[in-house]
Amino acid sequence: MDSKPIQTQQLYGILPSEKKGVGKLATLALDMRWSWNHAADKLWRQLDPELWEQTQNPWLVLQTVSRNKVEELLKDPEFKEKLGALLEQREKAASSPAWYQEKHASSVLTQVAYFSMEFMLNEALPIYVGGLGNVAGDQLKSASDLGVPVTGIGLFYQQGYFRQLIDQQGNQQAIYTFNDPGQVSIVPLRTPNGEWLRIAVQLGSFTIWLRTWEVQAGRVKLYLLDSNDPANLPVHRGITNEIYGGGPEMRIKQEIILGIGGWKLLAAMDLKPEVCHLNEGHAGFAVLARAEDIMKEKGCSFQEALFISRPGNVFTTHTAVPAGFDHFHPQLMENMLGPFARQSLGISMEELLALGRRDPANQEEYFNMAFLALRGSGAVNGVSQLHGKVSRQLFSDLFPRWPIDEIPIGHVTNGVHMPTWDNEFSDKVWTSACGKDRWRGDLLSMESKVCQLTDEALWGLRNVCRENLVHFIRSIFARQSRLGGRVDHLNLNVNDMFHPQTLTLGFARRFVPYKRPNLLLKNKERLIHLLNQESFPLQLVLAGKAGPGDERGKALIREWIQFIDENRLHHRVVFLSDYDMGIAEQLVSGVDVWINTPKRPWEACGTSGMKVLVNGGLNLSTRDGWWAEAFSPDLGWALGNEESMAEGELSDVQEAEALYDLLEYQVIPEFYGRNDNGFPLKWLERIRNSMSKLAPVFSANRAVRQYTENYYLPAAERYKERNADKEGLEMKIFDRQKHLREHWSEISFGEIKTETEGKYHSFQVSLLLGEIHPEWVSVEIYSEGSHQGLPKMEREEQVGDHGYQVYKGKVPASRPIEHYTIRVVPFSDGMAVPLEASQILWQR
């Protein structure tokens, strides 16, 4: 099916002219590659300089500008030449072989469907809240750069996330605006005959219609669904109004639309991805929809279809605490999915609920979306090294009696799309060192090249970035303060705010208690002292939103506003309201040090601090998320050390004092410690190390390549094998898996003999296997800390007395024999243990 608009008038918006060339402008404006490739910025500025500066939205500019202006510019030879060159560059970027085509041209992987509740591509398409959307958007952009065949699936929210206003008392006010589909870079998906493609999805006893949209982002596409179809009841039209809006009932409806509606959209377009990537458990219902498709195709049961599709599903969890998973009451599940389970999947509601319960037999237990995603996927990962460890703990109940280190959850540490987060000045510095296409390859030579950057280049970069940030802060604060009446109320002169040569700290993120945004306020007198030192001053810019219903988070914002007002610190500290991607780009570009203070280990990864790397900013953070693996004393600063973490948590007061100490005795002196040429040499060496060693590693380029090679390619291979199953081998594995579940309890240990001879411990064990074939189990000699590559015991050919199977094995006697024990686990070449078969039996 051709998913592209057939002719110009079938766009959702209206173009100002039908003159030849306007369609070319529309092609550029509708490709969100402009959000990270700024070659066309001057062209859009020519159309309407003021509107461009206010919105940075090419499609809105093109929709708004007058017919006369467009036609006038299209007569200009220089403008036409520039437009032609930009289209040629766009075509070349889309069609030239990229990293994936060069490295994996013969791969069976042709399509990855990437499901996420939010995508942060640009402020001009505000369908995101924060970190999750940041990761999804940046990974789509890097997939485009690298040529990885990824297609995004998300929701188009009519209001998106709320906009923030801070009143005179420091209270957060929520304002909801309308995302006019005619003024954002999206087009309706249409069938070849011009009909708008609409998807039908069942919500309980109702069938609702979903409108579909296409977003072009370089080589990749993002498809969005919304329920605001006039054919729906009003209550259903509003489901996709607000991201994460409403209570559990609204949440489950949105997740059904994303997972089931999203998969149906792929099917309607005849797209058949080998890999389905679930970005958080919100997308878990896609597992059910994919299985339903296979049931129809092969005429098999739901359980068989889930077995076939499972290897092709990849689940990424971003949650660090159990409360972060979406849980739904069994009755709500029945109301929303009961008919779908019985009529479409052919299973009872209890069978469906069992997929999302820790204990499938507990009928009172709520349904956990993350459990569904894990039980429906062939690979699972956290989003940092530490978060992988935390996730193994969180999901350990699904693998009873398995050692924590063997819980089948790996990690891919997030990265950010560096071309999105650099600025024009850092882009020039990087280009001089590494070339224009530096983020589209394997990054192998980047570190050595960046290390050669001179002190003059680095210090010049930092000074111009900081100065631009100061001008931005003054401008945006003046505008925001007029809205809240704060300029008159405080009698401020914004030109006195901040100074281009002053050490600038940044703190911007969601205001929630675990991120401890007010840790710096634990000792207000000491903070004031640090801010107001005459010789070595400090300035701090803050931003962030609390959830609309989060009163604790709102109180944290209010405390900062009142602290600033009461102590007349506006020249040194500012809180910028309505934190969004546009403000984030300015902050990560200009601050010298990014502060991050989450309570370990609650920050799954955190990507905000990664964004400063490309602009020469440094990090001072708790050793949580990505910083736990990135930190080194020559790269930045860390709160806490290995000893304090091993001994237990420090109190907030203790950590605050440690933060003040770092600032007063290390950060500030190092920034202001200049040589005869005015350069802070130690600071610049730290920047050079941070840029060269961290920016490549914590880029989305590295993350997407890692997903591709470690997850997507193996998943595609395994899915293809199971789906083809030409000789029936895979369904034999399915039968074996079922048989193991039903008869595992029949296994029992008999006599166990041990002895030590010279350099080896020898073991002999008798096992009664009941109805389980001896080749379907593996008998292993286990010792803590050496689970990988465990010695396997060999089965004797002769069956022992009373039908016992006899196994023998030995291990080096480097550890006492008491450190070893025998265990029995399932075995099959085509089955992932323990992800797909979690049975285990230990020697008593």
Q: What is the pLDDT of residues 58-91, one digit of tens each?
A: 999 998 998 899 999 999 999 999 999 999 999 9
- pLDDT surpasses 70 at 647: no
d(CA 451, CA 702): 19
Q: How many CB atoms lie within 10 A of CB 552?
A: 11
Q: What 3-state class would DSSP assign to 455? A: helix
Q: What is the pLDDT of residues 151-179, one digit of tens each?
A: 999 999 999 899 999 988 899 999 999 99
pLDDT, residue 1, reads 39
Q: Which CATH number fits domain 743-842: 1.20.1630, 2.60.40, 3.30.450, 1.10.760?
A: 2.60.40
Please report, as a single letter, which amino acid is at residue 711: Y
At 485, the pLDDT band (50, 70, 90 cuts) reads low
pLDDT, residue 104, reads 97
pLDDT, residue 649, reads 66
Report the residue count for the chain: 844
Please report, as a single letter, which amino acid is at residue 490: L
- pLDDT surpasses 70 at 641: no
At 727, the pLDDT band (50, 70, 90 cuts) reads confident
Residues paired with residue 328 on neighbouring β-strands, in sequence order = 367
- pLDDT surpasses 80 at 6: no
Query: 178: buried, middle or exposed (CB in 10 Å: 19+, 13-18, 0-12)?
Result: exposed
Q: What is the pLDDT of residues 191-206, one digit of tens each?
A: 888 899 999 999 999 9
Q: Tell me what the mean pLDDT of segment 237-241 comes to.
A: 96
Q: What is the pLDDT of residues 351-397, one digit of tens each?
A: 999 999 999 999 999 999 999 999 999 999 999 999 999 999 999 99
For residue 803, what is the DSSP state?
G
The answer to whether 639 and 659 are in contact (CB under 8 A) is: yes
pLDDT, residue 20, reads 78
pLDDT, residue 171, reads 93
Q: What is the pLDDT of residues 325-334, one digit of tens each?
A: 999 999 999 9
Structure tokens at 570: 């506006």
Least trusted range by pLDDT, from 408-422, 645-659, 809-823: 645-659
pLDDT, residue 341, reads 97
Same fold across 430-691 and 743-842: no
φ and ψ at residue 189, rounded to 5 degrees: -80, 130
Query: In which element (H, E) is residue 590 found?
Result: helix 581-590
At 799, the pLDDT band (50, 70, 90 cuts) reads confident
d(CA 603, CA 619): 15
Domain ranges for the chain: 8-95, 99-414+711-722, 430-691, 743-842
The answer to whether 214 and 186 are in contact (CB under 8 A) is: yes
- pLDDT surpasses 60 at 438: yes
638-662 per-residue burial string, b: 16 or more CB within 10 A, e: under 16: bbbeeeebeeeebeeeebbebbbeb
What whole-number percentage of the chain has pLDDT above 90? 85
The answer to whether 835 and 408 are in contact (CB under 8 A) is: yes
CATH classification (class only), 430-691? alpha beta
Closest CA to 538 of 506, 496, 564, 494: 506
pLDDT, residue 479, reads 85
Report residue 327 CA to chain centroid gap.
20
Cis amide leading into 834 (omega within 30): yes
Query: 829: buried, middle or exposed (CB in 10 Å: 19+, 13-18, 0-12)?
Result: exposed
At 51, the pLDDT band (50, 70, 90 cuts) reads very high
Helices (H), 435-523: 446-450, 455-484, 486-490
Least trusted range by pLDDT, from 69-73, 287-291, 314-318, 687-691: 69-73
Contacts of 123 (CB under 8 A, 6+ apart): 56, 580, 581, 582
Give the 3-state DSSP-derived string for 663-680, with helices as H, strands as E and coil as C.
Answer: HHHHHHHHHHCCCCCCCC
Q: Tell me what the mean pLDDT of segment 761-788 comes to.
A: 90
- pLDDT surpasses 90 at 729: no
The answer to whether 614 and 607 are in contact (CB under 8 A) is: no
Closest CA to 405 of 427, 426, 383, 388: 388
- pLDDT surpasses 50 at 459: yes
Q: What is the pLDDT of residues 820-844, one digit of tens each?
A: 999 999 998 889 999 999 999 999 8
d(CA 123, CA 581): 6
pLDDT, residue 169, reads 87
Structure tokens at 203: 């919500």
405-410 long-range contacts (CB < 8 A, ≥24 apart) are 405/787, 406/787, 406/834, 407/834, 408/380, 408/832, 408/834, 408/835, 409/317, 409/380, 409/381, 409/382, 410/379, 410/380, 410/381, 410/382, 410/710
d(CA 392, CA 410): 9
88-104 per-residue burial string, b: 16 or more CB within 10 A, e: under 16: eebeebbeeebbbeebb
**Predicted model pTM:** 0.95
Query: In which element (H, E) is residue 420 found?
Result: helix 418-421
- pLDDT surpasses 70 at 4: no
How much of the chain is in helix, strand and coil states, percent to nearest 5?
A: 45, 15, 35
Statement: 99-414+711-722 belongs to CATH 3.40.50.2000: yes
Residues paired with residue 155 on neighbouring β-strands, in sequence order = 225
d(CA 722, CA 733): 10
**Mean pLDDT rounded to a whole number for the chain:** 93
Q: What is the pLDDT of residues 562-615, one digit of tens each?
A: 999 999 999 999 999 999 999 999 999 999 999 999 999 999 999 999 999 999
Please report, as a single letter, which amino acid is at residue 22: V
Q: What 3-state class would DSSP assign to 332? A: helix
Residues paired with residue 115 on neighbouring β-strands, in sequence order = 153, 278
For residue 784, what is the DSSP state?
T
At 640, the pLDDT band (50, 70, 90 cuts) reads confident
At 3, the pLDDT band (50, 70, 90 cuts) reads very low
More confident position, 39 or 114 = 114
d(CA 64, CA 44): 12
Q: Tell me what the mean pLDDT of segment 535-559 comes to.
A: 95
pLDDT, residue 5, reads 36
